[in-house]
Structure 1
Amino acid sequence: MTKNPQKKETSKNTKQKSKWSKLNHWMHLWLGLSSGIIVFIVAFSGVLFIFCDDIIDGLAYNSLYVSEIKEQKLTPEEILKSFKQQFPDRKASYYINYRDPERTIKLASSTKDRDLQFSWIDPYTGIVLDSGKAYDFFYIVAHVHSGEMPFGKTGNLIVEISVWIFLIELITGLILWWPKKWNSSTKKQSFTIKTNASFKRLNYDLHNVSGFYNLLPALLITITGLIIVNKPLGNATQKIFGGTTKAYSKLRDIKPEYDKTKTYAPLSPIIEKLFAEDKTVEQVKLSVALKDSITTIFAVTAEDIGLKGVVNGKTYAINRYTGKEMKIPIKVMNGLEINDWTMNLHIGFWAGWLGKTLTLFVGLICTALPVTGFIIWYGRNNKKKKEQSN
């Protein structure tokens, strides 16, 4: 009787597929278990950060607007002087001006011990209407998210490795999710969460089905996160899109020579000009020079300026002596825009409330995946132990 070579080849391919399937399952399981707690912390802290700007402003709601619009606003120099008189132990780092004449000025400051806060100042009187510590809270959340708190550079590396692992988990998870045969039964099982099932089945569906629906946006958040933290990937992204590495550092190199005999230009005309150049600009952010030797003021104009995200933003370097804009090299400007877009996509700032809400749901599912995955593993492991003991 002759052997069927086609049957032998099919058997060989099946065994080969089985080996890859087992390897994929092993990688998904053990990589997930080894990084689960870190992924949970990173995802959960990211979820907390998404609506940080709305929460910060929401807590100071009664101080976002002035009670009375007067004929003339105080100059920025007068505002900064008034703030220093009211808070002598604090240093202002930047402030945001609004086109809306009813809006108060939002000023960021810190103490020697870092203690960050925002203050809302009446631009007509210079009186600080409110100050809040939510800024400091979200600073901590952001640094927990990056791993810098409490482990410094080691924490950054641990988080980066865990994010790479999570990227692999998303790919291996898709392979595990993919049905061996497509029919009405497997389609229903793959695309539907059975809400009236047992806890075990419900947990499995929450991990398997929601993980599939979450795949693409989770990949976007994961990849943009890696671009932010991984230097080679960040450098490659800058090169591909015509930017430059360390764009913020190179921006700070654009400065005129310090001359103690010269006086500084008034700030009000600078702000007025930035608002006048583009009617879509609603906010102008100006840095505060902490030393006389700092000869450049950095400005950002945008529709909306957050702690990290900027909507339709543009960066300027202003000569502190002349008040005129200095030319920023194209590659540096492109680098700044790439950084802004990467951050906007990562934190959901790209589409207002819609983008943030979508990112919130994606982040919650990413937070839940290590938990539901652990429950699946624990349940199966516990079942095996019971079977062995019997």
Structure 2
Amino acid sequence: MTKNSQKTVIPKKSKQKSKWSKLNHWLHLWLGLSSGIIVFIVALTGVLFIYCDNIIDGLAYDSLYVKEVKAQRLSPEEILKAFKQQKPERKASYYIIYRDPERTIKLASSTKERDLQFSWIDPYTGKVLDSGKAYDFFYVIAHIHSGHIPFGKTGNLIVEISVWIFLIELITGLILWWPKKWNSSTKKQSFTIKTKASFKRLNYDLHNVPGFYNLLPALFITVTGLIIVNKPLGNAAHKIFGGTPKAYSLFRDIKPKYDSTKTFAPLNPIIQKLFSKDKNIKQVKLSVAAKDSITTLYAVTAENIGLKGVENGKTFTINRYTGQEMEIPVKVMNGLEIDDWTMNLHIGFWAGWIGKTLTLFVGLICTALPVTGFIIWYGRTNKKKKEQLI
């Protein structure tokens, strides 16, 4: 009876383990094939976006600094008026002023057809030194990354589903990578790439080994991306860290009533006050009111302000009549900071060049994984077909 019972128990365990292994392999293969092209596009556009601010400023290098620092800068009102005279077809949306007196003003604008541009303006003369369309290019890249281009809200959903699948792929990939036995041979195979090998073996190693080293940072970027696009996850993050969802919308609702009898406060004192808050503040971003009836201005102070990321930044809403900051509820302010940190962590804006470089390598490996995975599947499928023909 003992022998018979042993014979019935051991095969059952082996069979059960085999089923889990097959299921994991099946999930990794078919989920990867079904989402591979989307993951590739999302990862590639993410990589292209990492250095967007450096590229935008790099293309306008000669216009980042003025040739002559004069005793008096023009007021922001005069700068905006000069810009409108030189670019009457364009509508200013915001501008960034630098503490460094040698830096030009960076102004964002658009046309009715969108055509986003940055212009660099001499703060002492009001002359537009240069305008570049790299802003519009990265706008398109960001919207392809989110799926909004070309499919709108449907594209957003497709990308979100693909990112969830990629999260599962990372977990199932780790299970597939994990050696059944740990010895010197399996350690070498699991942790090193055999460069002097056939293309098939090299591709297999390029899928497995970098995939393992990339696991934790890839999970990090994937989860922060999901927090940005998935409402339940975003709400959970805000609840945990004491924020409120849709903080930006609530923030924009904080405004005084329009009063046609009142005049707007001058902008220079507002900007000087923002700079005086902290000596580490190097840049101030100020919105341009789209209509005269808009009673608030939105300001950001930071060490570095990018298209999406803000380094050590803080957000303010300014009463246009008094020039004073308006009180923002604590939960709304926390919500804004949570959103900023999530975005900074996602795009590598959290540690200057170090953060961006690390995110670049992670993104490149994530871009390569669907390609190397497809080549592995295609090679095995072709091999089976050839064997059947023989």
TM-score by length of 2: 0.99
Number of the residue aligned with 1:116: 116
Q: What do the CA deviations read for 1:279-306 (whole angstroms, capped 9, x no partner)?
A: 1100000000010111000000000000
Paired residue type of 1:78: E
- Sequence identity, in percent? 84
Paired residue type of 1:134: A
Paired residue type of 1:56: I
Once the two structures are TM-superposed, the CA of residue 13 in structure 1 deviates from its matched residue by 1.8
1 CA distance for matches of 2:341 and 2:31? 30
2 CA distance for matches of 1:376 and 1:30? 13
Number of the residue aligned with 2:50: 50
2 CA distance for matches of 1:7 and 1:359? 52
Number of the residue aligned with 1:180: 180
Number of the residue aligned with 2:69: 69
2 CA distance for matches of 1:205 and 1:242? 44
Number of the residue aligned with 2:202: 202
Unaligned runs of 5+ in 1: none
Task: Please list, as runs of the form range in 1=range in 2, the aligned pairs for 1:141-220 lying within 5 A after superposition.
Answer: 141-220=141-220
Number of the residue aligned with 1:104: 104
Q: What do the CA deviations read for 1:34-59 (whole angstroms, capped 9, x no partner)?
A: 00000000000001000000000000
Unaligned runs of 5+ in 2: none
Number of the residue aligned with 1:309: 309
Q: What do the CA deviations read for 1:297-316 (whole angstroms, capped 9, x no partner)?
A: 00000000000000000000
2 CA distance for matches of 1:362 and 1:193? 17
Q: What do the CA deviations read for 1:57-81 (whole angstroms, capped 9, x no partner)?
A: 0000000000000000000000000
Once the two structures are TM-superposed, the CA of residue 4 in structure 1 deviates from its matched residue by 5.6
Once the two structures are TM-superposed, the CA of residue 12 in structure 1 deviates from its matched residue by 2.0
Once the two structures are TM-superposed, the CA of residue 5 in structure 1 deviates from its matched residue by 3.7
2 CA distance for matches of 1:354 and 1:100? 24
1 CA distance for matches of 2:61 and 2:166? 38
Aligned residue for 2:125, secondary structure, equals: coil
1 CA distance for matches of 2:128 and 2:2? 94
Aligned residue for 2:96, secondary structure, equals: strand
Paired residue type of 1:194: K
1 CA distance for matches of 2:292 and 2:278? 30
1 CA distance for matches of 2:42 and 2:7? 49
Number of the residue aligned with 2:127: 127
Q: What do the CA deviations read for 1:263-292 (whole angstroms, capped 9, x no partner)?
A: 000000010011111111000000000101
Aligned residue for 1:119, secondary structure, equals: strand
Paired residue type of 1:307: L
Once the two structures are TM-superposed, the CA of residue 15 in structure 1 deviates from its matched residue by 1.4
2 CA distance for matches of 1:4 and 1:93? 80
Number of the residue aligned with 1:80: 80
Q: What do the CA deviations read for 1:80-113 (whole angstroms, capped 9, x no partner)?
A: 0000000001000000000000000000000000
- Relative to structure 1, the CA distance from residue 299 to residue 2 in structure 2 (aligned partners, 3 Å threshold; closer, same or farther) is closer
- Relative to structure 1, the CA distance from residue 102 to residue 186 in structure 2 (aligned partners, 3 Å threshold; closer, same or farther) is same
Once the two structures are TM-superposed, the CA of residue 10 in structure 1 deviates from its matched residue by 3.3
Number of the residue aligned with 1:327: 327
**Would you say 1:281 and 2:281 are equivalent positions?**
yes
Aligned residue for 2:165, secondary structure, equals: helix
1 CA distance for matches of 2:134 and 2:9? 65
Provide the alpha-carbon RMSD of the alignment.
0.9
Aligned residue for 1:291, secondary structure, equals: coil
Number of the residue aligned with 1:348: 348
Aligned residue for 2:114, secondary structure, equals: coil
2 CA distance for matches of 1:363 and 1:100? 34
Aligned residue for 1:109, secondary structure, equals: strand
Number of the residue aligned with 2:293: 293
- More moved, 11-20 vs 266-275: 11-20
Paired residue type of 2:23: L
Number of the residue aligned with 1:367: 367
1 CA distance for matches of 2:143 and 2:99? 32
Paired residue type of 1:176: L
Aligned residue for 2:276, secondary structure, equals: helix
2 CA distance for matches of 1:248 and 1:92? 21
Aligned residue for 2:381, secondary structure, equals: helix
2 CA distance for matches of 1:11 and 1:293? 78
Once the two structures are TM-superposed, the CA of residue 9 in structure 1 deviates from its matched residue by 3.0
* Structure 1 runs (4+) greater than 4 angstroms displaced: none
Paired residue type of 2:97: N
Aligned residue for 1:373, secondary structure, equals: helix
Aligned residue for 1:179, secondary structure, equals: coil
2 CA distance for matches of 1:208 and 1:8? 36
1 CA distance for matches of 2:197 and 2:122? 58
Paired residue type of 2:340: D
Paired residue type of 2:282: E
Q: What do the CA deviations read for 1:165-197 (whole angstroms, capped 9, x no partner)?
A: 000000000000000000000000000001111
Once the two structures are TM-superposed, the CA of residue 7 in structure 1 deviates from its matched residue by 5.5
Q: What do the CA deviations read for 1:111-131 (whole angstroms, capped 9, x no partner)?
A: 000000000000000000000
TM-score by length of 1: 0.99
**Would you say 1:59 and 2:59 are equivalent positions?**
yes
Number of the residue aligned with 1:25: 25
Once the two structures are TM-superposed, the CA of residue 8 in structure 1 deviates from its matched residue by 3.9
Paired residue type of 2:153: K
Once the two structures are TM-superposed, the CA of residue 14 in structure 1 deviates from its matched residue by 1.8
1 CA distance for matches of 2:126 and 2:384? 70
